Structure 1
Amino acid sequence: MANQDIGNDVIMTRVEDFEEYRQINLALADLVQKMDDSSPMKKLLDHVCSSGGKKIRPLILMLSTEVCDGEKNKAIDAALAIELIHSASLIHDDLLDGGILRRGIPSVHEKYGIAAALLCGDFLISKAITLISPYGHDAVQEFGSAGMHMAEGETIDIRSMNEEFRLKHYFDCINKKTASLFASSAAIGAYIAGCSKDDALRFHAFGENVGIAYQIVDDLLEFLEELEDKKSTQESVTLPQIYSRALGREQAVQRTIAEVHRYVGFAKALLSSFKSCAAREKLLLITDHITIDLLPSRV
């Protein structure tokens, strides 16, 4: 495995090798381990927290803190809050979409039932609020805003199968449903480090563009039937589907790929306005890892 030297730091080329990734996973495991064994919720949380995932959103938060010269250890609880509210949104998303598989394993409601899944989502949101609350007004406002936007995005998504779904609806949906949490993760990381409002807004815009590109890639892979670890009984209307109505399959795919590159370019331009450091290089690596690197080599 290759390494890249940035000053006195060495950046591993896999997200799983980041120290921040290890810290997040250890903190999640500790959160579950400390729960009362008699609590029925413990096995639900163990199922959710051990289901894998790259922990991209909490990583973005911690790395944004580091770029702004903040202490990453002070950002761990906020990173956990982001991961927990994200997990809650996935549980609710699976309930709405009839999700059967998530990350290659049964969804929470498929394994434990609808009532248990709803309550697990509620628990995760409540726990996330307790974790984020000590971080101050700006961070809490960002966190609450992301939660509201995600819910709004879901309502747009639900309507997508019942009315003519146009480009403006699609981008409004993914901006709120997906990109909002990426954006708030980056901004919260900046606030924790004591960054200015202007710097936090730039991080917010960086996360938003990464999140949009990420969702477009995910939708493209679903369109090409290349997602094997996710299965639902209902499907949303996606960008390649919208393009294919007018352009045909091949041109729709190429147009979608071009959109991914466009939003990734926006994200990298924003990130380049911050000083060069190991944390910034990690954010650049993550940006490619969840977008460009996943694009199909042949279509």
Structure 2
Amino acid sequence: MTHGTTYQPSPAGHVDLGDAELNERIATGMTEVEVLLREELAKGEDFLVDKVTHLLTAGGKRFRPMMALLASQYGPRAGSRDVVKAAAALETVHLATLYHDDVMDEAELRRGVDSANARWDNAVAILAGDILFAHASRLMSELDTHTVGHFATTFQDLVTGQMRETLGAGDRDPIEHYLDVIAEKTGVLIASSGYLGAYHAGASAEHTDALRKIGMSVGMIFQIVDDIIDIFSDPEQSGKTPGTDLREGVFTLPVLLALAEDSDVGEQLRGLLTGPLTEDADVERALELLGRSQGREQALAHVHRFLAEVETQIARLPESPATDALRLLAGYTVRRVG
């Protein structure tokens, strides 16, 4: 069975944002983004096209385009063709980073299908990611030089975050290191979505800045919540195997906070978590110790700090269905923890 042939419509256009008219506007924009993505990624040799559309057709939330379209509601050109192009470019960059991330992580699955590196090989996956950056560059070139410059900075941040994660914390505080990595790897592209959606809709500088900062905080919340779910979720509810990061030797915020505890649990964890956990019994013991630690509560305190920043920035925006929707989205990201 070839995974690239069936089209699964993105669920993002069907998210209930709390207002029927807004839902319709965003859904229309999401359809336009999807059409443009398929048109753009179909350009090139056949042997390239099936590789670069592999993850596109596998689905995905399309959260970044949705954020851009939502941010565009604050300008007179909400949902305009330029907004759609910026949204498509953002999703294309996101797709490219997934191809490269899967090579770095030696991942076998992505979005429920074989990762590109597992289906073909690392070289093909890297080149597919590279060609996606070319597509994103072409879309940006049809906008303006300000957008190209903004994306250059965003791309530099993305690579800096990946490099920072690869090299490790070194002598730095591991929690500060972790927060910098997720800001650069996850937060920055959602921040760009808020910024470029507002900018290309002609929103004011004040509102554009607020939407950029909201995007950054929402990205931070998303990642920390994901990391909490990886450790503390019920697999039947989350569909995830708890402790995946522990098996890979990746210590996320709740684990780092637990490791820093001046307690018997913290001491036992420091003795156990010295690298990847290869034995199921060790993973079970680590999860049990983490459950007794303050790691979950302290990680949630960070989540609520970023949620408070979202509220601070939302206060800079006019009250509207779009503003209510931003509150809804931020709240949803937190509620995923249960």
Instruction: Give the TM-score taking structure 1 as reference length.
Output: 0.85
Q: Distance in 2 between matches of 1:192 and 1:4?
A: 22
Structure 1 residues 169 and 185 mapped into 2: Cα distance closer, same or farther (>3 Å)? same
Partner of residue 251 from structure 2, selected from 221, 225, 237: 237
Partner of residue 193 from structure 1, selected from 181, 188, 201: 201
Q: Which runs of 5+ in 2 are unaligned?
A: 1-13, 266-289
Structure 1 residues 284 and 127 mapped into 2: Cα distance closer, same or farther (>3 Å)? same
Q: Distance in 2 between matches of 1:131 and 1:59?
A: 17
Q: Distance in 1 between matches of 2:320 and 2:38?
A: 29
Q: Is the 8 A contact 2:96 2:133 kept in 1?
A: yes
What letter matches 1:72 in structure 2? G
When the two chains are superposed, the root-mean-square deviation of aligned CA atoms in Å is: 2.8
1:287 and 2:330 equivalent? yes
Corresponding position of 1:171 = 179
Higher strand share: 1
Q: What is the Cα deviation at residue 123 of structure 1?
A: 0.5
Corresponding position of 1:42 = 49
1:48-197 correspondence to structure 2 within 5 Å: 48-74=55-81, 75-160=83-168, 166-197=174-205
Corresponding position of 2:9 = none
Q: Is the 8 A contact 1:67 1:277 kept in 2?
A: no
Corresponding position of 2:35 = 26
Q: Is the 8 A contact 2:80 2:201 kept in 1?
A: no
Q: Is the 8 A contact 1:65 1:193 kept in 2?
A: yes
Query: Structure 1 stretch 190-199 or stretch 112-121: which is displaced more?
Result: 190-199
Query: Structure 1 stretch 17-26 or stretch 254-263: which is displaced more?
Result: 17-26
Query: Structure 1 stretch 270-279 or stretch 231-240: which is displaced more?
Result: 231-240
Corresponding position of 1:215 = 223
Q: What is the Cα deviation at residue 39 of structure 1?
A: 1.7
Q: Distance in 2 between matches of 1:63 and 1:5?
A: 13
Q: What is the Cα deviation at residue 105 of structure 1?
A: 1.6
Instruction: Give the TM-score taking structure 2 as reference length.
Output: 0.76
* Percent identity of paired positions between Structure 1 and Structure 2: 25
Q: Distance in 2 between matches of 1:176 and 1:272?
A: 25
Q: Distance in 2 between matches of 1:142 and 1:128?
A: 13
Q: Distance in 2 between matches of 1:3 and 1:125?
A: 31
Q: Is the 8 A contact 1:78 1:131 kept in 2?
A: yes
Structure 1 residues 23 and 286 mapped into 2: Cα distance closer, same or farther (>3 Å)? farther
For residues 210-251 of structure 1, the C-alpha deviation after alignment (integer angstroms, 9 at most, x for no partner) is: 111111111112223656469787453210110111335241
Corresponding position of 2:284 = none
Q: What is the Cα deviation at residue 48 of structure 1?
A: 1.5
Corresponding position of 2:285 = none
Where relative contact order (Cα < 8 A, 6+ residues apart) is larger, the structure is 1
Structure 1 residues 3 and 98 mapped into 2: Cα distance closer, same or farther (>3 Å)? closer
1:271 and 2:314 equivalent? yes
For residues 2-45 of structure 1, the C-alpha deviation after alignment (integer angstroms, 9 at most, x for no partner) is: 97865xx5455xx9x8333333333333434x435x52011112
